[in-house]
A and B are shown apart, each in its own frame.
Chain A
């Protein structure tokens, strides 16, 4: 295991539902990330947090709302999603934001919007 844990592993939700994805890291890292991975497309960076402060919002729709209460935990709150939001959502963490720092990924949450 990479030390980054995501729950749940699978989630099916209706377009009117509200749900949350959780990510936890036990590596002592200061930076955490949310990525979206759709079939046949490269990973898309969604949000970046460094020392609990959001440093990047990559033009993500407001129906995705991140929360970082501390350096070890990261949430992604979901509401009124669309079927095209179905994807694998990956959380990652790294020691810092240097370009040479390795990112460690969680196993992802497979989200299906019906």
Chain B
């Protein structure tokens, strides 16, 4: 059964600090992994997409890594801002399937 596990479930950090969110998956055959940001009361918005051959991809202060061997991904947020407060969802797609597997998300709160 395809599964995506995210940790931690929630995280509180101070503005300006860095943080790293984790995603472990058991999706086969692997096609791609996306990180989405979901602000409270809004729909998810894609931050990055990574395929099997990519190890690192950045989008501004967001950097995603992928280790396809260990089936792990991380999302690193640098110099956090108040607007980074949101839920971050890891989504993994299997090859040949249009039904992705979603993680439960990590709720990030950035305090001033």
What A residues does B51 contact at CB under 8 A? Answer: 100
A2 to B41, CA, bound (A): 14
CB < 8 Å neighbour of A107 from B32, B43, B103: B43
A31 B98 Cβ-Cβ under 8 A: yes
A42 B99 Cβ-Cβ under 8 A: no
| Per-residue interface assignment for chain B, residues 93 to 105, with 1 indicating a CB less than 8 Å from any chain A CB and 0 otherwise | 1111111111111
| Per-residue interface assignment for chain A, residues 60 to 104, with 1 indicating a CB less than 8 Å from any chain B CB and 0 otherwise | 000000000000000000000000000000101000011111111
A99 B93 Cβ-Cβ under 8 A: yes
Interface size class of B (residues with CB under 8 A): 20 to 34
A100 to B94, CA, bound (A): 9
What B residues does A114 contact at CB under 8 A? Answer: none
CB < 8 Å neighbour of A106 from B43, B94, B100, B101: B43
- The reply to whether the CB of B46 lies closer than 8 angstroms to some CB of chain A is yes
What B residues does A97 contact at CB under 8 A? Answer: 98
What B residues does A107 contact at CB under 8 A? Answer: 41-43
CB < 8 Å neighbour of B31 from A31, A55, A90, A100: A100
Known: A31-B98, A40-B104, A42-B103. A102 touches B31 (CB 8 A): no
What A residues does B43 contact at CB under 8 A? Answer: 2, 4, 6, 90, 92, 105-108
CB closest chain-A residue, reference B94: A99
What B residues does A90 contact at CB under 8 A? Answer: 43-44
A103 to B44, CA, bound (A): 9
A45 to B4, CA, bound (A): 15
- The reply to whether the CB of A12 lies closer than 8 angstroms to some CB of chain B is no
What A residues does B99 contact at CB under 8 A? Answer: 45, 48, 56
Cβ-closest 6 pairs across A and B: A105-B43, A97-B98, A42-B102, A99-B93, A99-B31, A43-B102
A-B contact pairs, 9 of them (CB 8 A): A2-B45, A4-B43, A42-B89, A42-B104, A102-B46, A102-B49, A104-B46, A107-B43, A108-B43
